[in-house]
Amino acid sequence: MAHTEYKHVIDAVELNATALGGLVRGTLRAGITVDRETSSGGYLPEMQFISERKPQASWESRAIKSWLQQVGLYGKEIDDLAAGLKLYLKKAKHGGTRYTGSNHLRYTARSGMILPRRLSVSHRQAATINYDAAITYDGTNASIAVTSGVSLPGGLTDDERYGLGPWSFEGGDYKGITSLELDFGLTEDAQGADSDVDDTEVSISDVKPELVLRGIDPTWFGASAVPLDGLEIGHVTSSGYLRRYKKRATLYPNNQSQHIKITVSGLAYLEEVLDAGENRASETALRIPLDYDGSNDPVKFTFDTTIA
């Protein structure tokens, strides 16, 4: 029996001619719903059919800066990409590592929307960012097409790693942070009509982002920090950082323009004032539903900056 070579691994996502890497996970779902109801007192289905398809691609990447710069806070229309959204799988080689040349798989979507979902990072780990693509039908091309025997996109670099950095709100420093999660808060609405199986349009219904910080410093709660009435937070008086890791070293120094600054607007409150045990540090959770201040996005990113 000949050797089989079924194994493929995630490689890259490509937007036009821009290949983005740092991927740690990728999925592609057909989103098929089958109608198989019984009738006339029957208990075994005799008729079934596909009533809808809602295909969706998802991926997770460590390339925080590259993805945020390409897609932004409110998503990106796939129809605007001349060559569509492309996801690549790299073929593993029996008795070796990976194939080179035209041996790989490419999945292409021509219509829909790319949606940022979550940015998360924990103590001593690299931050990741998650995206979904709500895929629609453009009236001509298949919602998802697969092509075998393709080459992988060039120009990929894998040098983006970011860790937790310091945060301050309204003049107070919030130390002892162990994790951060930013939910971009996008709610999309994909629709079709006329009994079409595939959705033909998708748009954003609302955007309600939230930031959650967890830490081991119980003094986040109090009259001089975050009281029971909450704490109003604005862009001018808030700042947080993702610290960039340096290749073959530890972290870039604070005074080098390599880090990412985040500012937010919203109302902070203690979701958990304390969660303590007998022999472990008490944990605190600070949640900040973000809002629009009339001028700025609820969350703002500044790239390649120093840490103040």
- Nearest to residue 115, comparing CAs of 180, 201, 57? 57
Residue 302 in contact with residue 265, Cβ under 8 Å?
no
Q: What percent of the chain has pLDDT over 90?
A: 94
Supply the pLDDT for residue 109: 97
Helices (H), 3-92: 64-71
Give the pLDDT mean for 215-222. 94
- Residue 205's identity, in one-letter code, is S
Say yes or no to pLDDT of 1 above 80: no
Give the pLDDT mean for 75-91. 96
Phi, psi values for residue 198, rounded to 5°: -100, 145
pLDDT tens string 161-199? 999 999 999 999 999 999 999 999 999 999 999 999 999
Give the pLDDT mean for 128-156. 96
255 three-class SS: coil
Supply the pLDDT for residue 155: 82
- Nearest to residue 156, comparing CAs of 269, 294, 299, 22? 22
- Rg of the Cα trace of the chain? 23
CB within 8 A of 118, min separation 6: which ones?
Answer: 129, 130, 181, 182, 183, 184
Widest distance between CA atoms in the chain: 75
Alpha carbons 19 and 104: distance in angstroms, whole number: 15
Supply the pLDDT for residue 17: 86
Residue 103 in contact with residue 122, Cβ under 8 Å?
no
Question: What does the mean pLDDT of the chain come to?
Answer: 96
Alpha carbons 268 and 291: distance in angstroms, whole number: 11
Say yes or no to pLDDT of 49 above 70: yes
Band (pLDDT 50/70/90 cuts) for residue 239 is: very high
What letter would DSSP give residue 155? -
Alpha carbons 227 and 273: distance in angstroms, whole number: 10
pTM, entire model = 0.94
Band (pLDDT 50/70/90 cuts) for residue 231 is: very high
3-state secondary structure 105-152: EEEEECCEEEEEEEEEEECCCCCEEEEEEEECCCCCCCCCEEEEEECC
